Structure formats: C-alpha cells, structure tokens
Amino acid sequence: MKGTEQGAAPGAAAGSADDGYVPSARRRERERYKRARARRATALAATSTLVTGAVLYFVITAAPGWPRTRETFFSAAYARLALPKVLDGLLLNLRLLVVCGAAVLVLGLLLAVARTLRGPVFFPVRALATAYTDFFRGMPLIICLLMVVFGVPALRLQGVTTDPVVLGGAALVLTYSAYVAEVFRAGIESVHPSQRAAARSLGLSSGQTLRFVVLPQAVRRVVPPLLNDLVSLQKDTGLVSIAGAVDAVYAAQIIASKDFNYTPYVVAGLVFVALTIPMTRLTDWVTARMDRRRAQGGTV
C-alpha cells in the first residue's frame, strides 16, 4: 500500500499540472494591486484633463473679446460654406504630397549616396552634393518658392512650364530633398564598417556592397525620421497657394476675403490637422515597433 501510494503520487502531481497553472496567492494579490493602480491612474488622468479643459473654456469664453472672436473665427455658417471648397482644394495638396514625396525620396537618396562616395575621383560629386544640401537647407522654403515660382517664368525659357503647381512642387522637392538627403546619409554612416568589410571579403564590389548590404540597413533605420519629413511636407504643400494655385489654403483665402471672416482658415487648418494625425500615429507606431525589435535583438 505504501509503495502504491508513493507510486501514485507522481501521477497525481502530473495530473494537477495538466489541469493548468494556478497562480499563488501572492501573485494574485500583485495582479489585483496592478489593476487597481492602473484604474486610479486612468481616473486621475481623466479628471485632470476635464479640469484643465473646463478652466481653459471658462478663461477663453470669459474674455471681453470672445463674442467678436467667435463670430470672426468660429462661425458655423461660414464653416459650412467653406468646407466643400476646402476639401476640393485639398485634392491638389494630396496630389502634390504623393508626387513630391516620391521625388524627394529618390533625389534625397541620390544626394546621400553621392556624399558618401569614397575616393579622390569622386571629390567633385561630393562637393556638389554638399553645396546643394547646405544651400537648400539654409534657404527658407518660402523664399525658395518665391524665387522658383516667379523667377523661372521671368527667364522666358523655351519649353519650360510656367504652371504654378508644377513650379511650386519643384520648389518643395528642391528644399525637402536636402533635408531627406541628410537623413539618408545619417543612416548610411550608422552602418558599422565591419558590414562593408564582410561584404567585400565575400567578393562583392563597392556598388554591390552599397546596394545589397549598406542601403537596406540604412533605410530601415531612418524610416521614422523619413515619415516625420513626410508629415512636414504634407503641411507645407499649402504654401503653393502663394503662387495662385487653388489648394485648400487658397480656397479658404478666397472665401475669407469676401467678408473678412476668417473661419475658412480655421476649417482649412483643422482639415490639415485631421490629415496629419493618422500619419503621426503611424510614425509613432513604426518607431515603437523598431524600438521593440532593437530591444529584443532583432534586425533593425
């Protein structure tokens, strides 16, 4: 009997293990504490947000000039009038974003590669790429737009377009490609030199090493800052309105100039914000995902 009981004990233990893990009392208490602490933090955050919002609301609405400000900037009638026309103009901004974004990525990558070429024979290429980057990073975007939009037609060159949308997009590409080139260059230089040495030891040429080893790693590492530049480009497409292109901003300006009510500008701004938020959240998600992979030792 004693031997039978001793022999049955392991089987009973195995059976209890197969039934599932039962956490200890201390672990259950710890989980309850964590849940209670999370609920308290959520309630505190919601309360503080509501209090802050209420204070701001009463401070703004109690200001002496609030009735006039509400009529001038937050008129529901003008908002309903402006929204369809602002959305029609927004299509031009989206087209500029897609076309200019693709051109900026290509030109920026070419400039970054040109700046990282090695050897004395490539010195003129490196110097030109460096001069281009320094010049357009230092020049304000609004001045670049004015010079391209009004300066190019003044030259009266045969076969060169005078379309303000095309010229405005070209100015955006010229400026943003300089910023994106520096982002790509930072990614290229962040690749450890041992990667190049290992690739060359396997028989890859310099061009093959750059194409198959360096650039894939560099591009993956700079995806978050590239997305941030894309968000900035999306907002700056509204600057083409200074050339007369009817985008979302210029459509709002046309309506606002009739009665000097600036609600259409507020509508255009909110439309841009609504368009930017998803892109910003995508950037945050990509950044967090890459940080998790880096922390786990994965390939970035």
Sign, CA dihedral 261-262-265-269, equals negative
User: pLDDT by residue (tens digit) across 226-259?
Assistant: 988 998 999 899 998 888 888 899 999 999 988 8
User: Which residues, in sequence order, are CB contacts of 219 under 8 Å at separation 6+?
Assistant: 184, 187
What letter does residue 7 receive in the DSSP assignment? Answer: H
User: Which residues, in sequence order, are CB contacts of 198 under 8 Å at separation 6+?
Assistant: 213
Terminal-residue alpha carbon distance, the chain: 62
3-class secondary structure, 95: helix
In this predicted structure, what is the pLDDT of residue 300? 47
Can you read off the two tokens belonging to residue 144? 């670049």
In this predicted structure, what is the pLDDT of residue 17? 45
- Other Cβ atoms closer than 10 A to 37: 10
In this predicted structure, what is the pLDDT of residue 298? 53
| Ranges of residues in the chain whose predicted pLDDT is under 70 | 1-20, 297-300
Sign, CA dihedral 110-112-115-116, equals negative
pTM, two decimal places: 0.78
In this predicted structure, what is the pLDDT of residue 19? 56
Q: Are 262 and 268 within 8 A, CB to CB?
A: no
In this predicted structure, what is the pLDDT of residue 50? 94
Buried b (16+ CB within 10 A) or exposed e, 44-76: eeeeeeeeeeeeeeeeeeeeeeeeeeeebeebe
**Element housing 275 (H / E):** helix 263-295
Can you read off the two tokens belonging to residue 112? 């970054």
In this predicted structure, what is the pLDDT of residue 1? 45
